Structure 1
């Protein structure tokens, strides 16, 4: 029963961490490219319909300006990533069931979640660099807003976002390996 409750707690924590990661990540990327949000993400997530701002563009080329853009960026970040945290939490939580007790399961899985977040951040930063050094000169076949002014920074942020999701899944794989190795080490030290 304790392991089941621990599993539920870990899934909840992972969802919250996923949302917080997205909120902080998007604050960074907003600093790099406001247009990525005003001309893409705010539209994608329908933030203008929340009563937080207005479309100062047209229906064909919208541009959403918010009264408090950082708040809107935070909302987008949470909405874009809490579900990734949920997915990762479910997988790592179930992997964590291999540990000898609920306490060990919790400690190792929290460390696994931290490992996943660190790898996601590192790979996301690589994506930013990849966008800057590679994609700007080899423009990807993405949909771009027609009223885009700073394409270079838009591309860099898009690359960082894509790489961050990839990093989450690479981090998940590394965290699974970490959790399994910790369980094996615990069993060996217990003489099993």
Structure 2
């Protein structure tokens, strides 16, 4: 019974960490491009205007709603792997969860530099061709004034998910290695 309680608490903590990561991550990317949120994500998420005034409230809501589920996946995956095997401790699982967080954060930082180098006005891109997101979003994007900052924020935003997935794989590998070492 104690293992199930610990598992439940681990999953809840994973969800909270992931959600707060999303909130902080979005606050940073909002500073890079407010248009990415105002003209794209607010429209995509269909946030009512009262959630976007002030804009950073809407940014936080989107950050939480876009990442809490990743914490659920991480918590269930890392928490249940070999749960009945006593060679893995709760501490081992927290180390693996820390690996996920650090990897996602590292991916975001690395991607920031890559996106900053990639999306420069001096490169003289002729036309920005965004995929069609639907008429409402497409119309909203027509009001964009800084597509370079928009693309930087979008690149960072998307790479964070990749960092989370890779971090989860590394965390699973850490637990597997620890299990093999202790067996």
Shift of 1:132: 2.0
TM-score between the two structures when normalised by the length of structure 2: 0.84
TM-score between the two structures when normalised by the length of structure 1: 0.80
Residue in structure 2 matched with residue 70 of structure 1 by the alignment: 56
Ranges in structure 2 where 5+ consecutive residues have no aligned partner: 133-137
Shift of 1:44: 1.6
Residue in structure 2 matched with residue 164 of structure 1 by the alignment: 160
Contact 1:42 1:72 in 2 (8 A): yes
| Counterpart-to-counterpart distance in 1, 2:59 and 2:130 | 25
Shift of 1:152: 0.5
| Counterpart-to-counterpart distance in 1, 2:32 and 2:119 | 16
Runs of 4+ in 1 over 6 A off after TM superposition: none
- 1:131-184 Cα shifts (integer Å, max 9, x gaps): 222355576744561111110010001000111000000000000011122223
| Counterpart-to-counterpart distance in 2, 1:115 and 1:5 | 23
| Larger RCO (CA within 8 A; separation ≥ 6) | 2
Shift of 1:26: 0.4
1:96–1:17: structure 2 CA closer, same or farther, 3 Å change rule? farther
1:126-165 to 2 correspondence within 5 Å?
A: 126-136=110-120, 137=123, 141-143=130-132, 145-165=141-161
| Counterpart-to-counterpart distance in 1, 2:82 and 2:64 | 25
1:80-95 to 2 correspondence within 5 Å?
A: 80-95=66-81
Residue in structure 2 matched with residue 63 of structure 1 by the alignment: none
| Counterpart-to-counterpart distance in 2, 1:39 and 1:30 | 12
What is the alpha-carbon root mean square deviation over aligned residues? 2.1
